[in-house]
Amino acid sequence: MSRARVHVSGIVQGVSFRWYTVQEARARGLGGFVRNLPDGRVEAVFEGPDEAVEAMVAWCHDGPRHARVTSVDVGYEEPEGLFEFDVDV
């Protein structure tokens, strides 16, 4: 079980990044959230099996079709027991 907090930079707001992140994370059975930040980045927390978390971190490097990701910063934290994934506003 692991937990990753990612900050994704580039053209990642206004391109359905959050919606696609929710779909991808739920399909992998992860808990956590995704949200837009005021500085134009997207922040997401993924929690669940190690392989699924790493798959989502890898997915964030590309994101959905219309996104243009320039960087992904990843930090690992202690899991908090999150089981549902949604948009945090």
User: Catalytic residue numbers?
Assistant: 18, 36
Question: Do 86 and 33 touch, CB atoms closer than 8 A?
Answer: yes
DSSP state at residue 84: -
Both tokens of 25, joined, read: 């994370």
DSSP assignment, residue 59?
H
**Beta carbons within 8 Å of 23's beta carbon, 6+ residues apart:** none
